[in-house]
Structure 1
Amino acid sequence: MNLRNLHSVYFLGIGGIGMSAIARWFNHLGIPVYGYDKTPSPLTEALQQEGMQVSYADDSSQIPGEFTQEAGEKLVVWTPAVPENSRLYTYFKNNGYTIRKRSAVLGLITKDMESVAVAGTHGKTTTSSMIAHLLKHAGHNTAAFLGGLTQNYQNNLILHDEGSKEAPVVVVEADEFDRSFLQLHPNISIVTSIDPDHLDIYGDAGQLVEGFVSFIRLTNPQGHLFIHHKAYDKIKDLDLGEAAVHLYGLNAGTVHAENIKAGTVSFTFDYVSESHRIDQLELKVPGFHNIENALAAIAVGLHYKLSETAIRAGISSYRGVKRRFECIHSSEKITYIDDYAHHPEEIRAFLESVRAMYPGKKLTAVFQPHLFTRTRDFAKGFSESLSLADEVILLDIYPARELPIPGISSSMLLPDISSPEKQVLARENLLAYLKEIKPEVLVTIGAGDIDRLVIPIAKWIEDGE
């Protein structure tokens, strides 16, 4: 299939962050793009403003006639977030349309380009966007398909210069969900973490590890693997293929950081490897975990011959990804940070960094668990990591693609949370409660629709300043 010769493309689940990046790529090529999503969002509204047609009804009558009736080769791109029993999926299947998963289409788009694929149960969005920014900012011909909206480019798609004589490098976020990353063909692979997750897909942690090892083996034999030392410890005795292996980490690995200093606006550190040392780098996206992400990004930048000056400028100018340690408001009165963390290890890393930034201040965390299965599988881990906050407010579980599981709820996390103040609160009562307690440092955490509370909370804070 030559994707550039398609007549039109329909996306089932076009509002997903990974789906929308591919939709934007087809739209950029001038191929008509249509799609469905369950509910409107700022992202679907942006796609419509860019010229794509989006409907919100799971009904074949809502498919535009231009897609169903006009001649030419057509493609339906599907994400498993839309169930196979949906009316639209059933219609396309029964009428003989070519249906491909998002991951397969991403593999087709990138198969003939030199690619950098970033995998990991957490950290991959920030790391991939940081790599893309370092290369792009340095003038390297770069494209990127990302799992978040970059603050530097206000987009999840970065386009390369097709007129350039320089062969492009494409940076791809390699998603482990549904084993999607096995469709890629990386020249360079990065693995940020291999912590148990998506056990509803993999069954157990051992199967997840096997999935990551299969991804690593896809790396070009003449290529490179940059892997966090803790992730490497879980797979070091397995066959990882022929690519050169490089370990990185905050305080361990051939690539590591020294002289780390945490501030409220930025973190500073020295990059150290066997062949390079770059002192006093300033990263304006705080977090110890973001320094680790930066170590991997810098290592890739050095592989592509970026100068120390270019790397220093790229790291300093990197502004992060929306909903990844995003500081919404900061003043003497209150600080408000929003983060996408939805795994115990992500929450632990996030809260540890917030603690380091604001020592002595009361930390109030609002957390919305994501998925019933994840809450069930990692209940103890969630409780332990959330205990880093002085006060924990739990919202109801965001179900996403799942049906409720009897006995699984946010309240099951409460007994093992050691914070002195803790409760489950209905989301409609959250704002009134925050007004009552007047938090010093407030964080909202989760991958569900908790993001829809960010603007109301920010407005309340700004009105009270």
Structure 2
Amino acid sequence: MIEQNGAATQNHGTRTHFIGVGGVGMSAVARIMVARNQAVSGSDAKDLPVMQELSAAGARIAVGYARENLGDATVVVAGSAIRADNPELLAAKAAGLPVLHRSEALANVMGSDRTVAVAGTHGKSTTTSMITVLLRSAGLDPSFAIGANVPALGVNAASGESDVFVAEADESDGSFLNYRPLISVVTNVEADHLDHYGTAEAVDASFDAFTALLPAEGVLIACADDAGALALAHRTQERGNTRVILYGTHPEAQIKVLDTSAGALALEIGDRHYTAHLHVPGVHNALNAAAAFAVALELGVEPSAAIAGLEAFTGTSRRFELKGSKRGVRVYDDYAHHPTEVAAALRAARSVAGEHRVHVLFQPHLFSRTREFAAEFASSLDLADSVYVLDIYPAREDPIEGVTSELITAKLRTAAHPVAHPSEAVRLLAANAQDGDIILTVGAGDVTAYGPAIVEALRA
């Protein structure tokens, strides 16, 4: 068990300006700074609801980018989507102000808190949310920063009263190496974000560097069911810099998951057994819950309180989130944008649908990811009864010649429907779904907007 080591430090006497403050990750850091009475300003291209919340809390917020928005800022934090020619970024560099990545700003906010950093190719937001809800339910009030809104928490970030800080640690650009965690959770390690890393070996090396940050009194909590996370745990054990705890159904797991059916969770630790009813379906969520349980025990939470905390978790925004139902058809939305995530979301949908059909509206995310994983996406989507595939959501990328959604649809064995316009997909899905069926919108782009539209179309 890990003992308390002191309270967080705070950086007073500075004004931090956030360029792109409306982003979910950026607003999380800004929200915590404001709560800790630090001077904050920020701007974004659009007037988003979170910006109004930050303004009401005391931050100086501007809509639109202009060099004057920096005001008396002494430190600037720039979001990953900010262009190099942004006038505020240019002004900050011209003035010689330090420009931080969001993760660097978050690391500064963590100070000497006992940090729980949750990393992994998939499942970070859900696991971080579970840990936070569990700890709050158990009476331990942590600070937290999560890459998604959590209904049970009301927000995606807050400054707590205890010295525990729970944070989602993003590996996509290597920025998780800026943290100094006491507890690291790794849900899985797979080849992804190859536009940044280049090779699967480079992804593994980055996770090795992440676990090397753990101190001797720290602990790595890793999923034994994932080959990449298990291999990472073995390498960490060989290095011998910290303890390792494994969870899952795998024989090597110290925290064994015995039952993952229909929202049930049964755990075995030595000769002790614990059971819980989860409100979130799927084997992947049972594994995430086991990770959260392990963290709670490390922080001194009684097992019974940890179980109660898991049962209080009702889900995370855009993680198998129910958008509505009509005519007996339920419409869910999921952020899944990697083949493993898509498969997990569809298995969860299958467990909810039972004998009824599952229909998917899928939007590929990034040209590079579509090129690298087209066959794997098709294999995952084949778990559905019908698949409607939108054009690729480009996000930060320029088009790649020859890379289209057809790379996926051409490999599908199940009924595939390439659709040029989302409105066509909405109409077809509403027309074809029957009582008891599940419709799932999937992807990291703007496909999330079409779930409510499908519900409305079902009313017609």
Q: Give the TM-score taking structure 1 as reference length.
A: 0.90
Match of 1:208 among 198, 203, 208: 203
Q: Which 5+ residue runs of structure 2 have no aligned equivalent?
A: 1-8
- Over residues 215-273 of structure 1, what are the superposed CA-to-partner deviations in whole Å (9 max), with x where a residue is unaligned? 001012111111111233433246544211111124542212113321xxxx0121112
1:310: how far off? Answer: 0.9
Contact 2:427 2:457 in 1 (8 A): no
**Cross-structure match for 2:268:** 272
- Show the 5 A alignment for 1:74-153: 74-153=74-153
- Cα distance between partner residues in 2 of 1:394 and 1:40: 31
Aligned length: 445
- Cα distance between partner residues in 1 of 2:14 and 2:111: 21
Contact 1:411 1:424 in 2 (8 A): no
- Cα distance between partner residues in 1 of 2:191 and 2:307: 34
Match of 1:458 among 438, 455, 459: 455
Alignment CA distance shift 1:388-1:30 (3 Å): same
1:292 aligns to what SS in structure 2?
helix
- Cα distance between partner residues in 1 of 2:443 and 2:75: 33
Match of 2:22 among 15, 26, 32: 15
- Cα distance between partner residues in 2 of 1:420 and 1:121: 29
The one-letter amino acid paired with 2:302 is S
- Cα distance between partner residues in 2 of 1:42 and 1:437: 35
1:338: how far off? Answer: 0.7
Alignment CA distance shift 1:248-1:402 (3 Å): same
Q: Which moved further from structure 2: 73-82 or 319-328?
A: 73-82
Alignment CA distance shift 1:44-1:343 (3 Å): farther
Alignment CA distance shift 1:9-1:371 (3 Å): same
1:20 aligns to what SS in structure 2?
helix
The reply on whether 1:36 has 2:43 as its aligned counterpart is yes
Q: Which moved further from structure 2: 401-410 or 418-427?
A: 418-427
- Show the 5 A alignment for 1:56-455: 57-60=64-67, 63-64=68-69, 67-68=70-71, 70=72, 74-161=74-161, 167-229=162-224, 230=226, 231-235=228-232, 236-237=234-235, 240-252=239-251, 253-262=253-262, 267-274=263-270, 276-279=272-275, 281-330=276-325, 333-438=328-433, 440-455=437-452
Q: Which moved further from structure 2: 117-126 or 75-84?
A: 75-84
Contact 1:4 1:29 in 2 (8 A): no
RMSD: 2.2
- Over residues 155-188 of structure 1, what are the superposed CA-to-partner deviations in whole Å (9 max), with x where a residue is unaligned? 1113212xxxxx5111111110221111111111
Q: Which 5+ residue runs of structure 1 have no aligned equivalent?
A: 162-166
Runs of 4+ in 1 over 6 A off after TM superposition: none
Contact 2:10 2:109 in 1 (8 A): yes
1:147 aligns to what SS in structure 2?
coil
- Cα distance between partner residues in 2 of 1:427 and 1:124: 29
The one-letter amino acid paired with 2:16 is V
**Cross-structure match for 1:164:** none
Q: Which moved further from structure 2: 411-420 or 199-208?
A: 411-420
**Cross-structure match for 2:5:** none
1:147: how far off? Answer: 1.1
The one-letter amino acid paired with 2:247 is Y
1:416 aligns to what SS in structure 2?
coil
- Over residues 306-363 of structure 1, what are the superposed CA-to-partner deviations in whole Å (9 max), with x where a residue is unaligned? 2232122111111121111112225671011111101000001111121122122121
- Over residues 63-96 of structure 1, what are the superposed CA-to-partner deviations in whole Å (9 max), with x where a residue is unaligned? 43xx42x4xx621111222232333322221222
1:54: how far off? Answer: 4.5
1:366 aligns to what SS in structure 2?
strand
Identical counterparts, % of pairs? 33
Contact 1:393 1:425 in 2 (8 A): no
1:177 aligns to what SS in structure 2?
coil
- Cα distance between partner residues in 2 of 1:396 and 1:312: 42
The one-letter amino acid paired with 2:20 is G
1:448: how far off? Answer: 1.2
Alignment CA distance shift 1:367-1:7 (3 Å): same
Alignment CA distance shift 1:232-1:436 (3 Å): closer
The one-letter amino acid paired with 2:105 is V
Q: Which moved further from structure 2: 236-245 or 390-399?
A: 236-245
1:420: how far off? Answer: 2.2
Alignment CA distance shift 1:401-1:88 (3 Å): farther
Contact 2:387 2:416 in 1 (8 A): yes
1:335 aligns to what SS in structure 2?
strand
1:172 aligns to what SS in structure 2?
strand
- Cα distance between partner residues in 2 of 1:450 and 1:228: 30
Q: Which moved further from structure 2: 30-39 or 355-364?
A: 30-39
1:150: how far off? Answer: 1.0
Contact 2:103 2:178 in 1 (8 A): yes
Alignment CA distance shift 1:390-1:48 (3 Å): farther
The one-letter amino acid paired with 2:74 is K
1:53: how far off? Answer: 4.8
1:39: how far off? Answer: 4.1
